[in-house]
Structure 1
Amino acid sequence: MAKIKPEYGIFKTSIPYARFGEGEKILLLLFGGPGNEVPKGFIFNTMAKGLNPFVEEYTIYVVTRKSGLHEGYTTKDMSDDYAEMIRDEFGGKVNLIIGISYGGIIAQHFAADHHELFDHIVIAMAAHKISEEGKQIDTKFAELLSEGNIKSAYVTIADALYPSSFKRTFLKGLLWLAGSFAHKPESKTYSQDVVIEAKAEVGHDSINSLKKISVPVLILCGDKDFYFPSEYVKEMDRLINNSTLKFYENKGHEIIGDSRFAEDIFEFIKKKELGKN
């Protein structure tokens, strides 16, 4: 696989993006958080490997959240920001939305409130409730980022990404190095925004939105996810009227690199489109 070289930019709505891929269709990947820095370097390359199956058919935009958030901003507000972005930048419609982790909790509101703006939607590595331990880690992560302590912030989340194993220990070392070379956030309001995002995560409440969803939704999650325990994911699946849930056995909060991730999304799209005919 040739190394992917993304183009970086910021939309008029102040939402930053990384763009890559060659296809005519548009894939929006709502990236994790808290924090609105688009992935670069090691973090981007790790994510991009899992998205490689999409690059011929889709142009991919990895998006985070806008700058200048005010106190009390919610995940529902962020969903509305994405809706404005799609109307302004993509003519009011995209082909595929994949919300991962923090992006996945926002996607819950988006599927309910803005279904006319996309053809297909996937909620990955997310549920409508977050474990208390996950909230604590992300709050600490946001505080460290706000203080400019990027290396310690990156290492903080290693325990949440993988079940206990040598791989997790190895990842801590990689994340420490990645933090050493990480770019300083460019947004002037980043220190405030990342803390506000963390507070929005802790206060996330999408139960009413989930009950309103009328379109098919694919849910993908590891059954050992630290942030989103399987019982929470199953409960979310029951609350959505037309959802398909797939668990990845013995996987934690990092499934985008699993070969089944892209395969399951393509299968979901194919079945949905065949159902229209």
Structure 2
Amino acid sequence: MLASPAVESGSFGENPYLRVGDGPGTLLVVPGLDDALFDGSYGRAKRRTTAWALRRFAEEYTVYVVSRPRGLDPDASIEGMAREYVRVLEERLGPAPVMGISMGGLIAQEIARERPDLVDRLVLGVSGCRLAPGSREIGRRLRWYALEEDWIELRATLFEEMYTGRRRRLYPALARSVGKLRPPEPADPGDVVASIDATLAYDGCDRLGEIEPRTLVIGGDEDPFFPESILRETHEDLPDAQLALFRGGRHGALLERSEGFDGWTLDFLAGETARIDQV
């Protein structure tokens, strides 16, 4: 069993970050909506869970999980957020592979589109070129919970859409019960609303042909936000891409199928070129 790697927190200007491991390469991770749900200080629990989730990557890379600034503009866009990450790469990290998770995958696409010279390889983890039309009602519910600052129900709803089987029943119930003892604590509740609005507004499908870096599209075929149809559309319209699908996987496939997710992603980052389509 791999040990949890060393972790260090810091800030690139207004962007908090967590550095995991000290591998020879550099990997930038762009987190999803959950980035807006914490206060930006990377406390002990956040450091521990992030380090454990990235432990396999930390053998080969020094991993930087870089957050968005706190206090986003209410009209913040995915494209604008991407420009913040371009500055981080330009001024701090240099060219590197970029892995975007969920909403972070939308941002990562824009980073690669704007500055392909800074993106060695691109990973879209449980993310595609737009949200599925059928998921917009879920997005609107999440937005309502954010406006009401009902973080318990927002988290429970996310768990319902992320997990499968027993976890799909258990985790939302725990969020609504014992989760009340330690609810999410956004530094700025408006950041959650702005992040949801930016995600709902984004559609990069007609610009996929402009993305030059080789890309891995990886996710679950039953993901309510980025289902198989969106993942396949994203893969097919990218100039140079691989596809990896988890049958029966939902939005939490990177956690529930972590061995496969980590393995496929590491192979891809190491130069594996075979197309992957898991049944």
Which of 232, 235, 247 is the aligned partner of 1:234? Answer: 232
Match status 1:127 vs 2:125:
no
Match status 1:59 vs 2:57:
no
| Partner SS, residue 97 of structure 1 | strand
Matches within 5 A, 1:215-230: 215-230=213-228
Contact kept? 2:27, 2:99, Cα under 8 Å: yes
Equivalent residue for 1:105? 106
Match status 1:192 vs 2:195:
no
Which of 81, 85, 88 is the aligned partner of 1:85? Answer: 88
Equivalent residue for 1:205? 203
Which of 48, 68, 86 is the aligned partner of 2:71? Answer: 68
| Partner SS, residue 271 of structure 2 | helix
Match status 1:264 vs 2:264:
yes
Structure 1 letter corresponding to 2:100: G
Structure 1 letter corresponding to 2:33: G
Matches within 5 A, 1:158-177: 158-163=159-164, 165-176=165-176, 177=178
In the alignment, the residues of structure 1 paired with residue 254 and residue 195 of structure 2 have an alpha-carbon distance, to the nearest angstrom, of 22
Give the drift of 1:173: 3.4
Contact kept? 2:220, 2:249, Cα under 8 Å: yes
Give the drift of 1:240: 0.4
In the alignment, the residues of structure 1 paired with residue 134 and residue 171 of structure 2 have an alpha-carbon distance, to the nearest angstrom, of 19
Contact kept? 2:99, 2:105, Cα under 8 Å: yes
Give the drift of 1:111: 1.8
Give the drift of 1:26: 1.6
Root-mean-square deviation over aligned CA pairs = 2.5
In the alignment, the residues of structure 2 paired with residue 180 and residue 147 of structure 1 have an alpha-carbon distance, to the nearest angstrom, of 19
Deviation readout 1:51-104 (Å, 9 max, x if unpaired): 2111122121212322333233211111111101222222x322x211010101
Give the drift of 1:151: 1.7
Contact kept? 1:15, 1:64, Cα under 8 Å: yes
TM-score scaled by length of structure 2: 0.85
Equivalent residue for 1:253? 251
In the alignment, the residues of structure 2 paired with residue 128 and residue 179 of structure 1 have an alpha-carbon distance, to the nearest angstrom, of 34
| Partner SS, residue 200 of structure 1 | helix
In the alignment, the residues of structure 1 paired with residue 65 and residue 213 of structure 2 have an alpha-carbon distance, to the nearest angstrom, of 23
Structure 1 letter corresponding to 2:251: H
Match status 1:141 vs 2:139:
no
Identity %: 25
Deviation readout 1:90-143 (Å, 9 max, x if unpaired): 2x322x211010101111212211111122210110111212443333343344
Give the drift of 1:157: 0.9
Contact kept? 1:125, 1:222, Cα under 8 Å: yes
In the alignment, the residues of structure 1 paired with residue 224 and residue 44 of structure 2 have an alpha-carbon distance, to the nearest angstrom, of 25
Q: 1:40 to 1:217 in 2, by over 3 A?
A: farther
- Unaligned ranges ≥5, structure 2: 274-279
Deviation readout 1:220-246 (Å, 9 max, x if unpaired): 111111111111111111110111011
In the alignment, the residues of structure 2 paired with residue 4 and residue 172 of structure 1 have an alpha-carbon distance, to the nearest angstrom, of 29
In the alignment, the residues of structure 2 paired with residue 269 and residue 184 of structure 1 have an alpha-carbon distance, to the nearest angstrom, of 34
Contact kept? 2:20, 2:51, Cα under 8 Å: no
- After TM superposition, the structure 1 stretch with the greater mean CA deviation from structure 2, 51-60 or 196-205, is 51-60
In the alignment, the residues of structure 2 paired with residue 250 and residue 97 of structure 1 have an alpha-carbon distance, to the nearest angstrom, of 26
In the alignment, the residues of structure 2 paired with residue 119 and residue 127 of structure 1 have an alpha-carbon distance, to the nearest angstrom, of 19
Match status 1:29 vs 2:32:
no
In the alignment, the residues of structure 2 paired with residue 22 and residue 32 of structure 1 have an alpha-carbon distance, to the nearest angstrom, of 23
Give the drift of 1:182: 4.0
Contact kept? 2:6, 2:51, Cα under 8 Å: no
In the alignment, the residues of structure 2 paired with residue 157 and residue 241 of structure 1 have an alpha-carbon distance, to the nearest angstrom, of 32
In the alignment, the residues of structure 2 paired with residue 68 and residue 54 of structure 1 have an alpha-carbon distance, to the nearest angstrom, of 30
